[in-house]
Amino acid sequence: MSDRDLFPETIETDRLRLERLDEAITVLEQYDHVKVGAPHVDGVTEHMTWSPHETPNETKEFLDGVTEGWENGDRVEYAIVPREDEPLAGEYAGSAGMGIDWDRRTGTLGMWLRKPLWGRGYSGERAAAFLRLAFDRLDLDVVGVTHLPDNEKSRRAIEKYVDRFGGRREGRFRNFDTHLDEGPVDSVRYTISRDEWAANRPEDSAVRFE
């Protein structure tokens, strides 16, 4: 069995359904949400390491990279779809992914959400699902996540679930990421180990892999 065979096509949590991104959405559908001038896109990307897309070809290159990452077994990316009774139920609401460094047995989380869904705790719910994927299914040792230093919303969301699962703040790393417009940028990094997660894993998790 190859590494990519371990990746579920869909992940379900209490309130979210995560579907393999490059099969769940077309280039133009994705572009409509991330293009220059799209609703709320400036707020979404303000503290991200990517900028609004100028052309559909930029979006195509991104989705081609998602497919390549899946096929190479070093990256998974999912469309976030809120389930019934949630705001924007059944609609594309953003994406969540994890890069995988098999040599270092480490996964790195990433996520963005459409602005109407901010503040609902979806970040932690998605993180719990990816931690289960990383440690139970992919047999990784550590999961990390970063945010830009001035991103207070992400800091609060990340600290909440990192504390919940016994992880820690590693510190501010200089020139750790690259922003398309600004070049090298600092990032604040957190990690959760397999042992930390095992000691704090929820007993009643509703996470399902398909």
Q: Are 108 and 144 in contact (CB under 8 A)?
A: yes
Burial of 129 (0-12, 13-18, 19+ CB in 10 A): buried
Q: Are 67 and 22 in contact (CB under 8 A)?
A: yes
Domain boundaries, the chain: 3-201
Q: Which of 71, 75, 79, 73 shows the shortest CA–CA distance to 22?
A: 79
Model confidence over 36-80: pLDDT tens digits?
999 999 999 998 889 999 999 999 999 999 999 999 999 999 999
Pick the CATH number of 3-201 from 3.40.50.80, 3.40.50.300, 3.40.630.30, 3.40.50.450: 3.40.630.30
What pLDDT sits at residue 3? 57
| 186/178: higher pLDDT | 186
Model confidence over 1-24: pLDDT tens digits?
455 678 999 999 999 999 999 999
Q: What is the DSSP string of 158-194?
A: HHHHHHHTT-EEEEEEEEEEEETTTEEEEEEEEEEEH
Q: Which of 176, 210, 167 shows the shortest CA–CA distance to 49?
A: 176
Q: Which of 54, 6, 4 shows the shortest CA–CA distance to 31?
A: 54
Local confidence band at 204 (pLDDT 50, 70, 90 cut-offs): low
Write down how long the chain is. Answer: 210
What pLDDT sits at residue 1? 46
Q: Which of 68, 28, 35 shows the shortest CA–CA distance to 51?
A: 35
**CA–CA dist 126, 176 (Å, integer):** 24
How far is CA 90 from each of CA 87, 93, 118, rounded to the nearest angstrom?
9, 9, 17
Q: Are 38 and 103 in contact (CB under 8 A)?
A: no
Q: What is the pTM of this model?
A: 0.94
